[in-house]
Structure 1
Amino acid sequence: MKPGRNELCPCSSGKKYKHCCMNSISKQHVSMLDDIKQVAAMNPNLSIEELNIIAQQRMKAANERPHPDFHGLSPTQISNWICAPFKELDGVKISTPDDLNACPVMRYLELILDEAMQSDGSFKATSKGNLPTKIVKQASELLPEFAVSQFERDISISEYAGSNEDKFNALHYSRILAEIAGIIYRRSGRYHVKKAAQKQYRTHGIQAFFIPMLESATTQYNWGYLDGWDHDVDLRPFWLFMLWRMQKHGNTEQFIDEVIIAFPDLLLSCPEDKYSSPSQLLGIMIESRFIKRFLAFWGFVTVAPLRYVHELRMPDKVEIQPLMKLVFQFDV
């Protein structure tokens, strides 16, 4: 539950919520209400309709004004990135690259589709409902081809290889996305490729599914699925802002601070415990859910192994890959 504007901020700063972690949009609304009250007090003869027109004009102007917490973006632009359907996002062009060899998710999908196409559009699942060992082995053999391989020390702990789908997070993630995107489905112990998807694959190749898979990953897939946190922190609405900031400079610490400044209400879902502060916990979740199991699975970044300095956990070292800039061209 959100605190009242005049209550103490839950971040333990000792300040009132409105002077601390209250987000920028809420502060703007409060300031606007105070402004309208002042206009009404100074012009008692104004009608309700006239006050509404004044309020609408001032709110529109404020919403279209660049805001420092959003690094020069306006609240209107941020609202679009958070609320607009995938195909109606402003300020960014999302393209399908001609070459998807550097994208683990799409390479794994290609293996699944090829296996099905060789057997009249379907293949047998395991007794657990997983992908067969043949596909798991083929997917594991792709590891050296990905930029991520330079950071892997032991295949047994790699998210990009495994003995079965249960121990191969990137492959499992790709299969789940393919189902969410409506490309494949499981019935009667077999995985089937939909007829329409078979036709698309024959005509346009794996590129036909890049945008549908990406849209499923950012709007429908549960980002907390592969981790064990109980905290209900949904980062998906902020994915494009986060990707924009990551592409801008690639500094993990700076990037996490920027997310917290822009969307401080996220801290309210991260209660402090004896191990981590709300900001530390949120940072760890962002690294796991957004960087490692979204950006890295798609081949947009590589992530160095976990590092500790003087027993303190250090933020992930991230390197932007060429694929990210081929897919996302920002104009903001």
Structure 2
Amino acid sequence: MRRLRTYGFVAAFLAVPFVLYTVFVISPYIQAFQISLTSWNGYSSVVSYVGLDNFVRLLRDEVFWRALRNHGVMLVTLPLVTIAIALFLSFLLNLGGGPGGSGVRGLWGSRFYRVVFFFPQVLAVAVVGVLFQAIYRPDEVGVLNGVLARLGIEPVGWLIEPSLALWSVIAVMVWQGVGFYVVLFSAGMAAIPKDYFEAAALDGAGRLRLFFSITLPLLRDTVQVGWIYLGIAALDGFALIQVLVGNKGEPDGATTILPITIYNNAFSYGKVGYASAMGVALFFLTVTFAVLTLRTTRRERVEL
């Protein structure tokens, strides 16, 4: 009887969140799967079912494959660069000071630097986009090109050159995201017993040895989580690209991504069924990426 009451108490608390999650998360997914099998234009009361025709059309759509290629570049670059920079900065802030009188310590002023690094994370994506529009301006008024002009270098079209546009967007995503992962990895490093570092330092281990032999192995699970989050971010990027370069994938399709393509098909071309098919494809790409990352990085848990 007591166990039954406990289960009833827990179920009563979970009922409302479960209903809200079902209505606002599960239900839209199910509707998207259903709409992807139609040729619905978004406003007509007549819905024609076309089966898997939208998915067959995806396989022949050059814009879809171009978006996938861009996502592939972002999936490799964004997590790798962001995590590498965040790990480096976190190590400096927490352990970069080397051994001191009270053990291994971080750099002086590390608390202040954590706030500075985290600051871009609190800015709205629209604010970041407008800020970097000014930085990336293709004339000498732009911040970057103004510096280059002083060095005698011709202005660079950061967002209008097809070979540079996507890399410029990725650079902004790295800049905005690094601060969060500095805090995340710093929390992970704080959970590692200092005795490990002090013992290694007494044995003559340098900073590189401390990082690769102690810090990185014990942060593996945290890095895994960060990699998944960044991979999901690489499969999104809608708001930032929308503000920076618009929703046409300019220049020459260099910044075309699936969320932008979904938006265009649904709201500009009235092809809601086809856009839903792209959304379903993006959903399975995201789930596949997360599952593969978890499986390939799985290992025995290290007990501290």
What TM bracket, shorter-length normalisation?
Answer: under 0.3
Tell me: higher relative CO, structure 1 or 2? Use CA pairs within 8 A at least 6 residues apart: 2
Would you tell me which structure has more strand in proportion to its own residues?
1
Would you tell me which structure has more helix in proportion to its own residues?
2
